[in-house]
Amino acid sequence: MTTALAPEQTARFDRIERVLDFIHANLDQPLSVSELAAHSCWSRWQLQRVFSEQTGVSVAHYVRELRLSYAAKQLLSRHDRVIDIALSFGFTSEANFSRAFRQQFGVSPRTYRRRGVMDGIRTPLHVTTLATPKPSWLSVHIQTRSSITLVGQTSPILGLFAPEPDFTDVVPKLWRDAYEAGFIDASQPSIGAIDVASADTLQTPLPYLAGQQGDTLPAASLTKWTVPESTYAVITHLGPVTELPNTLHTFIYHWLPASGYRCTDGIELEVYPSGYQPQRDTAEMTYWIPLECRHHAPK
């Protein structure tokens, strides 16, 4: 049973949604906080406080990160001069653009273009209301991850779209067994991996590995997987891990169709930080789904 939002919560959420819509439609404009505040009916201070409270990021940082991400995509998809891309996204000079770009991506625009790899891309926040007790914001970044080797315990699972999914029972037990076996280093991130490419039908069990990055097998019962370099949609999930399926539903049914990307078969990842507390409302982990731009898809 879902919980209805109080009227003031609904109004606050709707105003932030209007601000986001305005930002997304005007990324080629300066977009000062004062102008955005005028579209929200709040003062500059109130907007910054509420925006950060609702989305987890400051309004100025969000605009900057999104604008530079759109510019990065154009560097890879078009042959426009760097200065023309800079001006089209409201930067006053190539030098200012390059300085901001390097701060976000760690390399210059020309180096980013030369590498030809889509990495570090912030996508627009997306409202999530599907099967959730209250609306929230879906945060997705596009990230390219180098090949990694994982070591852990494996078990077959029936996943999210199986007729009779069992992952909510199998996966927690697998992680409990992994920690009890003592090969998990609690000071390091843990990674769950799901080989969705190995399944032919929804009824086919998916291999799931619960473990960490490593090169050696400390026990005969453990398995080693090599995950190839891939570009991923990195989805931030905030809240109890039992609600992760709701976040993935929102990504698949709401974010993906309008995103310009398509998912590809591969190995999906669940990345849990050290000290992760799976049942806390403040718990935060990321789910990595392999994808590519639609124009790269075979015709």
Share of the chain above pLDDT 70, in %: 92
d(CA 296, CA 280): 39
Pairwise CA distance, residues 221 & 209, whole Å:
12
Tokens of 10: 């609904």
Q: What is the pLDDT of residue 259?
A: 86
Rounded to a whole number, what is the distance in angstroms from the first to the last CA of the chain? 43
Name the percent of the chain in helix, strand, coil, to the closest 5.
40, 25, 35
* pLDDT of res. 294: 74
- On the question of pLDDT at 7 being above 80, the answer is no
Residue 231: which region, alpha, beta or left (left: phi > 0; alpha: psi -120 to 50)?
beta
Of the two residues 72 and 201, the one the predictor is more confident about is 72
pLDDT band at 32 (very low <50, low <70, confident <90, very high): confident
Answer yes or no: is pLDDT of 199 > 90. no
Statement: residue 233 has pLDDT above 50: yes
Contact present, 239 and 293 (Cβ < 8 Å):
no
Query: What does the pLDDT look like over 235-285, one tens digit per residue?
Result: 999 999 999 998 998 898 888 888 889 899 899 999 999 999 999 999 999
What is the C-alpha separation between 161 and 201, in angstroms, rounded? 10
Distance CA 44, CA 38 (A): 8
pLDDT value for 10: 62
Residue type, 92: T
Q: What is the pLDDT of residue 3?
A: 44
Least confident of 39-53, 91-105, 264-278: 39-53
pLDDT at 155: 95
Query: In this predicted model, what pLDDT tens digit does every residue of 163-191 receive, in sequence order?
Result: 889 998 999 999 999 998 888 998 999 99
CA distances from residue 112 to 67, 104, 105, 130 in whole angstroms, order as listed: 16, 11, 8, 36
